[in-house]
Amino acid sequence: MAKILIVLTGGTIGSISDGKIIDVDEKASLLLIDKYCKKYGKEDDFTLVQPLNIASENLELTHWETMINFILEYNINGFDGIIITHGSDTLSYSSAILSMCLCHLPIPIVLTASNYTVLDERSNALNNFHSAVSMIKCFSRGVFTAFGDKIGKSRVFLPTRILEADGLTDTFQSFGGKELGFMNDEKFEFTKLSINPTKTEIEEPRKPILNGKLSLNKKIIFIRPYPGLNFSNIVISEDTGAVLLMTYHSSTARTAGNGSVLTLIENCRKCGIDVYCTPCKNKNEHYKSSTELIKAGCMPIYSTSPESSYAKLLLACNTDVSLLNRNIYFEVVCSRTEQYAK
């Protein structure tokens, strides 16, 4: 038997449909637990708490403060693990920041979601929840994200590598190509990938990164480029802590013509705001635009997913520690500046 704390935050897994509108409903989580107990028995002990009840597309920084501070302040003595149910739209972002802030806890934590509501016959809510419960029983600590694919395979991701879901298939992929592993008959099987950590490395004790409550007052402007974007139209507000530019897959961005990214970098320099770019390839040969970015003062974050880069930069701007040079589950992160090249 496992004693598990279930932290409910809303999302599709916590929603009910009236046939036209899908919206969060407290009854949904009770229905999920009821379905689980009917299929897998009642030997596990679930304690349900609900610090939030929102559609995840409405997620704001204050909601992360609420989730993280709630879990850090909750008395987890006697629990074997924590399951966080979440909406799929922003699951990859929450997975990144929650794993960074909670990875020091002495019990395993699993985030999960669903593609359809609990009562929809197409839903993977029950399978995902079962995978989360099974992960709690397979590990003594560590943070994970569980979400099955369209053919029912119970996939488990490193929360710092899971990417935003495909809008057509509602399935997730991992930065670097492969998930951490998958559940097979309630047993976890690792995916063979050299950059994946081992069970021993996952369960290794970690130091907390927060001193006291999390407060996210400084904001990150996160920019995704597209052809025709005029970077000079981007406004830097007083509460901006930094700017994060998502580059194209070749670690490039438009540096030619009027309103190029070089204009933005110069405007930020005048305001004393640092500009970072991600995901960047750490190699000797670069495209001309990549070199121009760095020369203009843009600091690259290497080998890190956009979601994790955003979370690390957000925490770096709002806490007294920097995660940009921290290795979280084998993530290689470095910068061209001496400050972060240590």
Report the pLDDT value the prediction gives residue 339, as an integer from 0 to 100: 30
Residue in 142, 243, 127 with CA at minimum distance from that of residue 186: 127
| CATH 3.40.710.10, domain 3-202, yes or no | no
> Band of the pLDDT at 94, cuts 50, 70, 90?
very high
pLDDT for the residue numbered 321: 66
- List the one residue out of 41, 64, 38 whose CA is nearest residue 52: 64
**310 SS3 class:** helix
Of residues 103 and 195, more confidently modeled: 103
With bands split at pLDDT 50, 70 and 90, how would you rate the model's confidence at 194?
confident
Q: What are phi and psi of 297, to 5 degrees?
A: 115, 0
pLDDT tens digit sequence for 23-74:
999 999 999 999 999 999 999 999 999 999 999 999 999 999 999 999 999 9
Q: Where are the domains of the chain?
A: 3-202, 219-318
For the record, the structure tokens of 202 come out as 């996952």
Q: What is the pLDDT of residue 337?
A: 30
β-sheet bridge partners, residue 159: none
Alpha-carbon distance of 2 to 94, in angstroms, equals: 25
- Cα 7–174–278 angle (5° rounding)? 100
113 pLDDT above the threshold of 70: yes
Radius of gyration of the chain (CA): 20
DSSP conformation class of 195:
T
Classify residue 55 as left (phi > 0), alpha (psi -120 to 50) or beta: beta
Q: How far apart are CA 85 and CA 28, in angstroms?
A: 11
Quote the Cα angle for 67-197-96, to 5°.
Answer: 25
Domain covering 219-318 assigned CATH 3.30.160 in the classification:
no
172 — pLDDT class (breaks 50, 70, 90)? very high
Average pLDDT (156-165) is 96
| pLDDT at position 323 | 62
- Name which of 324, 248, 326 is nearest 280 in CA terms: 248
Q: Which of 1-10, 136-145, 222-231, 333-342 has the lowest mean pLDDT?
A: 333-342
Q: Is the pLDDT of residue 153 over 50?
A: yes
Q: 276, 255 in Cβ contact below 8 A?
A: no
Residues facing residue 144 across a β-bridge: 110
The stretch 271-276 carries a mean pLDDT of: 94
* 277: helix, strand or coil: strand
Token pair for residue 69?
A: 């501070």
Confidence (pLDDT) at 215: 95
Residue type, 232: S
- In this predicted structure, what is the pLDDT of residue 332? 32
Q: Is 143 helix (H, G, I), strand (E, B) or coil?
A: strand
**Tell me, what's the pLDDT at 100?**
94
* Residue spans of beta strands (DSSP E) within 113-270: 143-146, 155-157, 181-184, 187-190, 219-223, 240-246
Cα torsion angle, 195, 201, 203, 207, sign: negative
Are the C-beta atoms of 294 and 325 separated by less than 8 Å?
Answer: no
> pLDDT higher for 238 or 322?
238
Mean pLDDT, all residues of the chain: 90
Would you say 6 and 132 are in contact if contact means Cβ atoms under 8 Å apart? no
The predicted pLDDT at position 193 comes to: 86
The reply to whether domains 3-202 and 219-318 share a CATH topology is yes
Phi, psi (degrees; rounded to nearest 5) at 120: -75, 130
Please give the average per-residue pLDDT across 191-197, as a whole number: 88
Residue 140 has pLDDT above 90, yes or no: yes
Question: What is the spatial distance between Cα 242 and Cα 317, in angstroms, rounded to a whole number?
Answer: 7
Rounded Cα distance, 147 and 185, in Å? 16
Higher pLDDT, 339 or 46: 46
Task: Kindly report the pTM of this predicted structure.
Answer: 0.92
282: nearest Cα among 223, 326, 331, 225 = 331
Comparing 70-79, 93-102, 313-322, which segment has the lowest mean pLDDT? 313-322
